[in-house]
Amino acid sequence: MSQKTKMISHQNDNILIDFDPNVSPESWVNGIFANIDYRTAAQISKNLVAAILQKRFLKLDVRTSSKKTGYNKSGGYSAITIGSTIYHLTTKPNVAVIRECKQSLSAGYKTILLAPNAKIKRILALFKKSGIANRISIFSIEKYISLAIILISCDKNVKLITTFKNIVREYNRRIHASETERRFKIELLQIMDKFDRRKRQTTLRIIELPWKKTKISSAF
């Protein structure tokens, strides 16, 4: 993680992270995920990936879901369906994710599995004897998001930071559309330097918004 992309502090359940617009997208994304727990990461990664897919495929309906029973009692699993492809996201992998992927393959979906960098070795070990390891694509969440920012920027011939801001806008639109799951707003702020009022520092803030607890699966 870049030294310029580090946590500043936690304030009233808000997370403040140093954000340098001049470093790589991978540094931005690593800076976010290095400073949140796996439950928070599960919600943020799900909606960030959905926002990216929506920006890439404007005419398709990108739907997310979070199961509330069985494997997902810990809050570490979600899925995104777009066309004939399913993205499985897990921040706390166990053998149940294999079952989810097998069901997707049986239903005829192209299957992609995303997990944090720190969990990829465990994922590969779990899938080694699953019989489906060569039928699914496995990527780290951080790498996937970072590469998507670069590809979208190249496609649209815009700056990386412009793409990131557009993805964050779509992300925030999506999380405001649901009040029945834990949700976190992302903001980019310009904060005045306390020692030199002429200088401003960019800070990324993560805010937990109010939500209504429910036992019913949520999807939009």
17 close to 52: Cβ distance less than 8 angstroms: no
Query: Is residue 1 included in any domain, yes or no?
Result: no
Give the mean model confidence (pLDDT) for residues 16-45. Answer: 90
Query: Is residue 182 included in any domain, yes or no?
Result: yes
pLDDT grade, residue 53 (50/70/90)?
Answer: very high
Instruction: Give the residue numbers spanning the domain of 130.
Output: 7-219
Give the global pTM: 0.82
Q: What are the tens digits of pLDDT across the range 152-204?
A: 999 999 999 999 999 999 999 988 877 667 789 999 887 656 666 666 678 89
Count of structural domains, the chain:
1
Q: Long-range contacts for 13-19 (Cβ within 8 Å, ≥24 apart)? A: 13/207, 13/208, 14/205, 14/206, 14/207, 14/208, 15/205, 15/206, 16/203, 16/204, 16/205, 17/203, 17/204, 17/205, 17/206, 18/201, 18/203, 18/204, 19/188, 19/202, 19/203, 19/204
Confidence at residue 182, expressed as pLDDT on a 0 to 100 scale? 76
Give the mean model confidence (pLDDT) for residues 54-69. Answer: 73
Confidence at residue 4, expressed as pLDDT on a 0 to 100 scale? 45
- Cα(62)–Cα(56) distance, integer angstroms: 10
Cβ atoms < 10 Å from Cβ of 43: 23
Q: What are the tens digits of pLDDT across the range 97-113?
A: 999 999 999 999 999 99
Residue 160: which of 15, 4, 23 has the closest Cα? 23
114 close to 144: Cβ distance less than 8 angstroms: yes
Query: Is residue 2 included in any domain, yes or no?
Result: no
How far lies 52's CA from each of 2, 48, 77, in Å? 23, 6, 18
